[in-house]
Amino acid sequence: MKPRSSFLFSLLSLLLLPRPSLFYSFKNCSCYDLSKIYCNSDKLNNVPSEIPKSATSLSVYGNHIQSIRGTDFTGFYKLDTLNLGYNEIAHIDEGAFSDLNALTSLSLVSNRLTLLMDDMFKGLYNLSTLRLDKNKITSISKLAFESLNKLNTLSLSSNYLAQTTDITNIYLHCPSLEELYLEYNNFTSFQSHHLSSPALKTLSLKGNNLTVFEPKNAPFNFSRLTDLNLGSNPLRKFSVHSDVFPLLNSLSLDSVSCSVFEWDVADKYFLRSLTSLELYFTSFTIETYRSLFQTVDSVHSLDLFGFSWLFDKGLLDFACSIPSLQMLILRGNNISVLNDSLLQSCNNLTHLMLSNNSLTDLTEASIRMLTRLILLQLEENRLSKVPAAIRNLTTLQYLYLDSNQIKELQCSDLIHFSLLTELSVYDNSISNLNSCVFKTLTNLKCLNIGHNNLLQLDDVFDGTLHKLERLDVSKNYLGWIHKDTFRNMTSLTRLSLESTRVISIEGGAFRGLNNLKEMHLTTDRLGADKFNGLSQLRVLSIVLNCLIISSPSALSEPLFSLPLLQHLEVKVSGDICFTTSREVFKGLDNLRILKLTNFFFNAPKQGTFLYTPRLELLRIEQCFEFDPAPELFHPLTELKTLHLPQTGIKSLNFLSEANLTKLEKLNVVNNELKVINETVFKALPSLKYLQLSGNPFVCNCSNAGFIDWAIRNKQVQVVSAFQFTCSSPPSEEGHFLMDFNVQLCWEATGFLCFMSSSALVLLTLLSSFIYHFLRWQLVYGFYLLQAFLYDSKKRRQGCPYIYDAFVSYNVHNEDWVYGELMPELEERQGWRLCLHHRDFQPGKAIIENITDAIYSSRKTLCVISRRYLQSEWCSREIQMASFRLFDEQKDVLILLFLEEIPSNHLSPFYRMRKLVKSRTYLSWTQAQSHKGLFWEKVRRALECGHEPGDDHNPLTANI
């Protein structure tokens, strides 16, 4: 086929294929919801043009986009959230966002914008959140925010803004603005008369070069401001001389390091709503702190991170003089010993945070005055035991001693904490617990003793923790859980027993946990009696070192008798040393989620999931070789998510008959798939997401169908399809699968189709020509061949003649044959005739009877009529006789016409006979008045070597 024809055929094939769904043809994007698109690929230089206009959320985070063009977001009328952060955007065309009328959130964080120009945000009438952090913005045009009437939150942190007029340009058009973040800019002063925003609630000026903050009595006040952050500035003065902060709730001055800082608040009434004050890493004079604390009477939470150098100057005395102070945060102050005098004036505290210090002990009277204390945090210190100083804190409800060096809990340590509801000693060195430790904690609801050195739990709880709801004993060195270890803990709902060592569990160990709903466990084996009594369990996570089930007969009882369990996760951390039974999940009729890691040596047996009909998510990971029968999944009629990573899958053909009609997500990453048969996905009508990354795909025509399907299908998104790489053949190794030129495959197929169709057309034409013009010649040749073969056989055998003539006639002419022919030729003239109704051998094939009759007779007499010419067998008889005529070169064929027949009604072999021996054509219709002469002519024709007469005889028809 010519190259031009091949090209035209390929083009026609591609045009006839369905048009691709652009929604599923992303090269650098993915979507996990039909309207949420993620293009965070670190490869894009422009906003992808193939993103569907129906998207409601779009993230093009972390790429190399340098500008936003005017057409990038044309037609995105439904877009609600747009993230363009961490690109290289330095320019935005005027009106680039004009179609985004539904947008409520826009992020341009960490780009290269320098100026906010007029109409840059045109069309964003419903925008409520705008983030412009970490750019290089130096100024804001007067009309830049003209369209943002509904803007609620604006962040301009980490830029180069210096003029408060820039802020004025924001307020001018943003009457709904409630939160404004201006941290880390270059402001040197901030005065309220420059502003006019009645809706502001949060103002953050942290990290600027702000030296003066002086709201003055002006037409505008901060009537709705609730949060003010002035941190990380070289602030020299904070001055308030009018009631401009009636609702201010939180003030942060963290990292303000000017030693000449002046706090100037004319009346404490101006800060009457302030409840939270953050001063960590400030370095004011002690007089300034004293002045500050005297004007914030309503503060109940004070953060003094990094103040140890001022503690000996009475700083805490001034702080605790705040009458409403309840929460004092003293983190990171390098306190080694809490002495008797440090907190003497803080008797009203209810919350004390001493985390992240260097505490080794608390003196006996250091916190004796804290008779109202509810919460005490002592995490991340150097305590080797529970300080004796806290024993008399009878009001304590929350105690945190995490990440210390405590080696033992004594019976007297917690004896007075009857109101304690939460206790955590996580990450210590406790190796032993006596039964008396928790005896008085009758109101305890949450206990965390994880990440210690515990070896056993025998009699630790002693049936006293009746109200305990959460217990964490994870990351210890437990080796055995005995029967009734958790007896009478009827309120426990969550139990974590993930141990550093493998735990052997005795039958009945969990008896009494009637309300347990979630359990995490490390053990060496599973058994039918391990989970007795856990009738309310919903979530079970097990880490197995080795699951031992010797044979199916070992499971005489259900392995998990947990009728309400909905989430089961089993991870085998050691070698696989068992063969699971079909009964392994019996008793889990309500299971919805099943995750199995290294659980099966190979594909599970058929019937394994027969007892989990409600399963919606199944994950089988790290299986040696997963090649299941389709019937394995037949019971899972509700399955929506199937994860099969690292299972050695080589083919997805099992999905064709798996009957997973509700499956929506399929994950087969990191397997051995080389060729994907796209037709298997027809058996998954609900499939929406397909993950195939990490497979060694073959880049040749065997995957052409899958490549075309992955791009063109309108239902299933093949996640990261354009990042699939080829592993073979060597010429394609490392290339992307979706870059393979499938058109070459279509051209080869097209060429074969063209050749096949051309051959079919030619064959049809040839057949039609032969049938119309040569069919009788072919039929004649066929019979000649049969006669030749028979004649050759007869010659070899040397058979003599039996009959004088074989009479070939049609059954409709029997009356004439019996009434005229036979009486004349047999009775009067004495010839011996062969008639088929009388002389054919019964049981013998009719064609053999015909040929035997012709070659056993000296001549063949054909009685021809219209009915004769229409008979198949009469035609065969005359064909055989004709061949004998040509073969023997003597007249052995006598044609006798009973009626006049036009020549155009005769078949070709009749016309041929006329040309050879026209004088032997005898006509009965012309002999009606000369019958004697007619029969005389017949007699002469039958005589050996005689002819019936010349062509002018009146009894001979010249047809």
pLDDT at 633 over 90: yes
Question: Which stretch, 42-56, 228-242, 391-405, has highest mean pLDDT?
Answer: 391-405
387 closest CA partner among 568, 173, 370, 372: 370
User: Does the residue 298 lie in any domain?
Assistant: no
pLDDT at residue number 65: 95
Tokens of 125: 């009438």
pLDDT band at 628; cut points 50, 70, 90:
confident
Mean local confidence (pLDDT), 538-552: 72
Q: Which residue has the higher pLDDT, 439 or 406?
A: 406
- What is the structure's pLDDT at 554? 46
- Comparing 119-133, 544-558, 565-579, 759-773, the range with the smallest average pLDDT is 544-558
Please tell me which residue, 446 or 500, carries the higher pLDDT value: 446
Torsion of CA 931, 935, 936, 942, to 10 degrees: 170
Does the residue 935 lie in any domain?
yes
Side-chain half-sphere CA neighbours of 643 within 13 A: 13
Any domain includes 906: yes
pLDDT in tens, 488-498: 888 999 999 99
- C-alpha span between 667 and 646 (Å, rounded): 10
Mean pLDDT on 627-654: 92
**Mean pLDDT value across residues 428-443:** 90
The pairing of strands 36-38 and 30-33 is: antiparallel
- φ, ψ of residue 690 to 5 degrees: the values are -130, 120
In three state form, how does the secondary structure of 592-603 look?
A: CEEEEECCCCEC
Higher pLDDT, 256 or 731: 731
Q: Per-residue pLDDT tens for 879-891? A: 667 666 656 656 6
Q: Is residue 297 part of a domain?
A: no
* 323: preceding bond cis by omega (within 30 degrees): no
Strand 327-329 and strand 351-353: the pairing is: parallel
Directed axis angle between helix 846-855 and helix 775-797, to 10°?
60
Q: Is 762 contained in some domain?
A: no
Phi, psi of 616 (to 5 degrees): -110, -30
Q: What is the pLDDT of residues 309-363, one digit of tens each?
A: 778 788 899 999 999 999 999 998 999 999 988 899 999 999 999 999 999 999 9
Reported as a pLDDT band with limits 50, 70 and 90, residue 780 is: low
* Amino acid letter, residue 345: S
Record the pTM: 0.73
pLDDT over threshold 60, residue 84: yes
Q: Tens digit of pLDDT for each residue in 145-194?
A: 989 999 999 999 999 988 878 887 787 888 888 888 888 888 877 765 55
What integer is the mean pLDDT of 223-234?
A: 82
Residue 291 has pLDDT above 50, yes or no: yes
Give domain status of residue 648, yes or no: no
Domain count, the chain: 1
Range with lowest mean pLDDT among 566-570, 872-876, 954-958? 954-958
Encoded amino acid at 766, one letter? L
**Residue 308 clears pLDDT 90, i.e. is over it:** no
Report yes or no: 289 and 314 within 8 Å, Cβ to Cβ: no
3-state secondary structure of 398: strand
The pLDDT tens digits for 24-72 are 557 777 776 668 888 887 788 999 887 888 899 999 999 999 999 999 9
More confident residue, 281 or 656: 656
Residue with tokens 């009827």: 490
> Distance (Å, rounded) from C-alpha 883 to C-alpha 906?
18
- CA torsion through residues 158, 163, 168, 170, sign: negative
Residue 837 lies in a domain: yes
Give the closest residue to 380 by CA, choosing from 395, 402, 408: 402
More confident of the two residues 231 and 643:
643
Asked if the model's pLDDT at residue 5 lies above 80, the reply is: no
643 strand-pairing partners: 619, 667
Q: How far is CA 622 from CA 626, 646, 649, 665, 694, in A?
A: 9, 5, 11, 19, 14
Helix ranges (H only) for 675-774 are 704-712, 743-769
pLDDT of 958: 39
Phi and psi for 174 in degrees, rounded to 5? -125, 70
Mean pLDDT computed over every residue of the chain: 83
Q: 903: domain range?
A: 781-942
Q: Does residue 882 form part of some domain?
A: yes
> Which amino acid is present at 219?
P
The rounded percent of the chain whose pLDDT value lies above 90 is 38
Q: Which residues pair with 353 in a beta bridge?
A: 329, 377
What pLDDT sits at residue 17? 41
Number of H helices, E strands in the chain: 16, 49
List, for residues 831-870, the tens digit of each pLDDT value.
899 988 888 888 777 777 877 888 788 888 888 888 887 7
CATH code for position 833: 3.40.50.10140
